[in-house]
Chain A
Amino acid sequence: MITRPVAVLACLAIVAFALPLIVGPDGIGWPSGSDVRNVILFEIRLPRAILGALVGGALGLSGAVLQGYLRNPLAEPGIMGISGGAALGAVTAIHSGLAGTFALALPLAGLTGGIAATLILLALAGSRTGPVTLILAGVAVSSLAAALTSLALNLAPNPFAASEMLYWLMGSLTDRSLLHVWLAAPLIIAGCLILLSTGTSLDALSLGDEAARNLGVNTGTLKYKIVAGVAMAVGAATAVCGSISFVGLIVPHLLRPVVGGEPGRLLLPSLLGGAALVLLADFLLRLLAPLSDLRLGVVTALIGAPFFLWLVLKTRTELSP
């Protein structure tokens, strides 16, 4: 189902993928000398671009699925505490030494944290609660995850742990290598495939639980598919890049007026849009402030938080009698 918006977004994502490859600390261009150029292009810039695309896609798609499933415009992996849970899982694995035991331990720990947070969230809120309860549940889960992350780092023997925690919360794509790509890519792709398969069920669900069941949707299976998909995609993304917030919130909202309100039609565009947004943010970051080591997560939060505020105000107006 290649619609025009999808084609446009795909082109945008491809352009956004290519841009970071040609931008470095010294502006646009490659350094001279073919050996050095290859190292920089394939080992430093390419992993960054691949991870940007994967992480952005995972966040955008997860946001769209959560908003569709919970029928709540404020749902997003960051606000709901899923990113926080994944960060907790990853930090715990690193500081307990588990991350060093086998290659996939780190993303799997992120995944476990993400699943735990998602399950707690769904248990707290369910799918029929109002926006306020759901956000409260999300705040509770993310505060708990943040508190436990602090605890894990507080108890770590290294006194520099506090600064490491700070950097976890400020997600970044800097200095990531192909190793990080191999660690995260399989889980992110698998998670995204699961999430993309929920489109028709989400469309049916937008008519109500009853109607969805009459249309043959198994709501129980759907729930577990979403939990697994979001936790895999966001968990693995957070485990290698830290928390990059608000992408999942903004992207579906930006695209809804273009592709229409049906949740199913929003999934692929949100995946592409999320990838494009993260890659463009990273590109601008390096073009405008190449030597500041400004963190990607800080920038997305700076864009996202006012957007969230606007969304809360809009929702309040819509809900008021």
Chain B
Amino acid sequence: MSGLAAAVISTAAAPPSRTADLVPQRIVSLNLCIDQLVLDLVPRERIAGLSFLAADPSMSVMHEAANGIPGLQGSAEEILALNPDLILAGEYSTKATVDLLRRLGHRVVTVPMASSFEDIRKAVRIVAEAAGDSARGTQAIADFDRSLADIQTKATLPRITAVAMQVNSLASGPGSLIDEVLEAAGYENIARTAILGRGGYLPLERLVTAPPDLIVLANSGDDFRTVLGDNLRHPSFVRLTGSQMSVHLPMAQWLCGTPRIVSAVKTLRDLSPKLAARGRLQ
């Protein structure tokens, strides 16, 4: 009830700004990935609220920065209660909520989900522009490109094969962010060439038969404690990740398309000299 009252007051007393030249001071994000872009691009005092997942260490690399900022479940009432002057929503944010906020005169900007590095640059640009600081966005994109180039200019290594396994025996294939991360780190993603089923299904039997040089564990069995994680707990998979080179890439590091994905590229890139040495020994 109080939320509703606040909603009425907020729209009546302080009509939300529609002018883009005014720099938004109370920014709200409704999506985990946009949360992390906002935290990087906007001063903290101008962030009024983020999604509740932003403070979840298993999903957000910026969880520490998000601490103390109100976490939203995503209902229109709690958003309105914050009296925001800019609302950033994901493509898949509840359409009903977004429509309602727009009808009430709020400025809602939709940020497309990033599944490639080019998408990341676009998303950074959109968020920075909406927040009234395009220069900050340009700077962030330049930083991102420089860090990527820094990682890649190190001595080129022979192509090493890799695969990123998720729960339910899914391998991250072409068109996914992880595929681009593997590519940028100099690996050959076997999910690109292997014949996979729908959604990147790579049966355990196939993986055991022809394992790549590196297995990236994109999920941990602990994140998925029931049926979905069975493939990661299967004895033959556990043994395979023990004998092959494998690395756990925490979900928070690759889940969202933000410039912070550079850390995932770096983690994987740093492994390749070891892998190359292993290859020479065998």
Contact = CB atoms under 8 A, between A and B. Distances in A.
Interface stretch (B36-44, B88-96, B178-186, B228-236): B228-236
Interface residues of B, number: 30
A153 to B, nearest CB: 9
Given A43-B235, A292-B197, A25 B206 contact: yes
Interface residues of A, number: 35
Contacts, number: 89
Interface in B132-161: none
B193 interface: no
Contact of B201 (A39, A172, A242, A292): A292
B53 A40 contact: no
Contact of A95 (B225, B233, B234): B225
A210 interface: no
B99 interface: no
A39 B226 contact: no
A177 B234 contact: yes
Nearest to A32: B209
Contact of B169 (A90, A159, A160, A174): A174
Interface stretch (A161-169, A190-198, A259-267): A161-169
A175 B195 contact: no
Contacts of B225: 94-95, 99, 158
B170 to A, nearest CB: 9
A295 B210 CA distance: 24
B58 to A, nearest CB: 8
Q: Choose among B59, B233, B236, B239 the residue with the greatest number of A CB atoms under 10 Å from its CB.
A: B236
A91 interface: yes
B118 interface: no
Contact of B227 (A159, A168, A178, A179): A168
Contacts of A175: 169, 204, 230-231, 234
Contacts of B199: 293
Interface string A275-295: 000000000000000111100
Interface in A36-63: 36, 39-40, 43-45
A177 B205 CA distance: 12
A102 to B, nearest CB: 16
B3 interface: no
B223 A179 contact: no
Nearest to A180: B230
Contacts of B227: 164, 167-168, 172, 242
Q: Choose among A43, A94, A176, A242 the residue with the greatest number of B CB atoms under 10 Å from its CB.
A: A43
Contacts of A167: 168, 226-228
Contacts of B223: 158, 160
A39 B205 CA distance: 9
B224 A164 contact: yes
Contacts of A40: 205, 208-209, 236
B211 to A, nearest CB: 9
A154 to B, nearest CB: 12
Contacts of A33: 209
Given A39-B236, A175-B230, A177-B234, A293 B169 contact: yes
Q: Choose among A24, A95, A174, A290 the residue with the greatest number of B CB atoms under 10 Å from its CB.
A: A174
B69 interface: no
Contacts of A45: 205
Nearest to A106: B226
Contacts of A176: 230
7 contacts: A25-B206, A39-B239, A44-B236, A172-B227, A174-B169, A176-B230, A178-B235
Interface of B: 53, 58-59, 168-169, 195-199, 201, 203-206, 208-209, 223-228, 230-231, 233-236, 239
Which are the 4 A-B pairs with shortest beta-carbon distances? A291-B197, A25-B203, A43-B236, A175-B231
